[in-house]
Structure 1
Amino acid sequence: MTAVPAGTANWSSSGTGAPAPARPAVPWLTIIPLAAMMAYADGFWMVSLRGAVGAIERTQEPFASWLRESTVLLPAFVLAVIAAVTLALRWFGPLLAGKKAFLTTALLVAAAGTVAGTVILAASEAWDYALQHDLMGSLHHASSVQSVEQLDQASLGLQLTAFGYGVGLLLVTNLVVTGWTVAIRGGRLDVSRQQKATPRRTPRRAVTGRARTVATDLRQTLAAVALFGSAAIHLAVIPDHLSHWVVASAFFLALALAEVAGGVLLLGRPGLNVLVAVAVASVVPLVLWVWSRTSGLPFGPNSNAPEPVGLADVAACLLELGTLVIALVLLRARRRETGEPERRTAASAHLRALAVVGAIAIGSLGVAGAVPGWLGELPSSGDTTHSVTH
């Protein structure tokens, strides 16, 4: 734990000539090790529980499954740790002073990792039960209905018991891992790092303009990351569609290229036409997805047949919906041009990281769900039908 020496704060000259403290920035050297340790440690217990009580379809190659799934889920744990240090930053300030603040922050980190692991474990156990339920249904013709129902109830009870044990294991593991990681780092647990500001004087007009664009820059960055995530998901589903419907693969390729181009333009200074194009590129696949999952598209190999909902298409739709909302907000702000400055808060860098890492986490789950076998034979969007939607 680092102390706060008196008179060591970094100061820089603002546009008004008054001194301004250096802005807190995200301590990635603290967040990444903590998140990685919890992701791979929790992933070990999840795969172990699956091997003990999970569906047989998901118990093959345990080491490869642990390595692959823990890597895919790493952004979710990064998101959890950022949320914990952001809360600690608001409670205790940019530097932890005293044992109470230090221990509370460590407990927050372990609790946040446990919450993330618990949500993932619940989804894994639910999927195992669904697969086992289908297997019990296939035994209907070979066994009595009563015995099938008994087996199904026993399977549900087993999954609930495994979930309870798993939550306890995750909590204890994350407490140990957090303490161990902090000890390896020499007892340091940073909730922020001081980002030095430039010492030169900045004109008042430039300072006001920069403050006004803080929120706009955050929205543009988040929309760009969401577009890149959607593009990655669309590229991942192309191989699955090539052998069934080439038109769908061509659509996904064109859509991915358009999303990448839109994301790149959003990282610069997008004009009105770019924002409109981004909104259109987001709303079109959303409309096609709703159409295909309700009544079915009137064309393609499985015309007029509703398609099942999968992890990849849900992740892509979440990212596209977020992009659409941000594009509409930016379009509205562009028209209004109120000129009111938007001030940067002490946790703005952390909030920016939360938003961006959240989009990355959704994108990584979507890509994993689009590749057959990556998450234990989860059905991809092209397993049963092959339209030009996710």
Structure 2
Amino acid sequence: MTRARRARKPLASHTARYIAAAASLAAAQIHVVMAPVHAEEWPASGVFFALLGVLQALWGVAVLRWSGPLLLGAGAAANVATLALWGLSRVVGMPFGPHAGVPEAVGTTGLVAAGLEVVLLAAVSAALVWRTTEPEPGAVAMGVAAVAVLGATFATAVAVAEADNHGHAESGGHGDSGHSDEGHHGNGDGGADSAATPSGGQPSGSPDAESPEEEVPEGHEGHDHEH
């Protein structure tokens, strides 16, 4: 009788756990993909993203096998902390690091990762409340769907990360070559251009004729990556 009761001990919903695992694995892949991007700005941030991705991946695999409340609660708490940290970095900026106090831009990759973590929290809550002793119909189909969602999310994360890197490369490739060429144009003939200026005008090489330097918008400081 005791063995029968143990065999029929209520377990957390398989469907809810599959959804939580898929969300955790997808968020893990996004964080791992974005780790090199953050490492370029601050190595410690890249390490954090890589470790976070590894932990989320391990939890996602573990929750497919075990359904204990301790494991589910630990995953929920970790993702609540991650969401709080993400929100803090977007509202007031991180309190430490090279861009302390500067809010980061809200980008597509960050929103996708945050959305996956919200889905994870909802699924964990359902798994903790909804417990069953019977096999759930459609659990296998849900597992297949979770894998499909995982693959689509990974492809999206890679595409967004590549677009972000391409944007950084383009912004870094534009220099002041046009301005410098204009400042030196025509000066190779011993000042012939300055002699041809109209009466009362200023020579093209005078300081007042130079274009003002572009001002960097306050609060950006080049810290505009999406995640």
Rate the CA distance shift 1:254–1:352 in 2: closer, same or farther, 3 A: closer
Displacement, 1:341? 4.9
Asked if the contact 2:32–2:53 (Cα under 8 Å) also holds between the matched residues in 1, the reply is yes
Structure 2 counterpart of 1:241 = 38
Shift of 1:241: 2.0
Matched, 1:362 2:139: no
CA RMSD of aligned residues (A): 3.4
Cα distance between partner residues in 2 of 1:378 and 1:221:
37
Q: Judge conservation of contact 1:314–1:366 (CA < 8 Å) in 2.
A: no
In the alignment, the residues of structure 1 paired with residue 67 and residue 139 of structure 2 have an alpha-carbon distance, to the nearest angstrom, of: 22
- Separation (CA, whole Å) in 2 of partners of 1:209 and 1:371: 49
Give aligned pairs, total: 172
Residue pair 2:27, 2:113 contacting (<8 A) in 1 also = yes
Greater RCO (CA < 8 Å, at least 6 residues apart): 2
Q: TM-score, normalised by structure 2?
A: 0.62
Going from structure 1 to structure 2, the CA distance change for 1:270 and 1:352 (only over 3 Å counts) comes to closer
Deviation at 1:364, TM superposition (A): 2.6
What is the alpha-carbon distance in structure 2 between the residues aligned to residue 300 and residue 234 of structure 1?
19
Do structure 1's residue 228 and structure 2's residue 25 form an aligned pair? Answer: yes
Q: Distance in 1 between matches of 2:60 and 2:142?
A: 20
Q: CA deviation at 1:268?
A: 0.6
1:370 is aligned with what amino acid? Answer: A
Compute the displacement of 1:209 (Å). Answer: 5.3
- AA partner of residue 20 (structure 2): A
Residue 315 of structure 1 corresponds to which residue in structure 2? 112
Which structure 2 residues correspond to residues 40-79 of structure 1 after superposition, within 5 A?
A: none
The structural deviation recorded for 1:317 is 1.0
TM-score of the pair, normalised by structure 1? 0.38
**Corresponding residue for 1:251?**
48
Alpha-carbon distance in structure 2 between the residues aligned to 1:343 and 1:323: 19
For 1:250 and 1:331, the matched residues in 2 are separated by: 32
Amino acid at match of 1:371: E
Runs (5+) with no aligned partner, structure 1:
1-204
The answer as to whether partners of 1:311 and 1:365 remain within 8 angstroms in 2 is no
Equivalent residue for 1:267, pick from 64, 69, 81 = 64
Match of 1:301 in 2: 98
Indicate whether 1:291 and 2:82 are aligned.
Answer: no
The corresponding residue for 1:385 is: 223
Partners in 2 of 1:371 and 1:286 — Cα distance? 24
Contact preservation (8 Å) 1:312, 1:369: yes
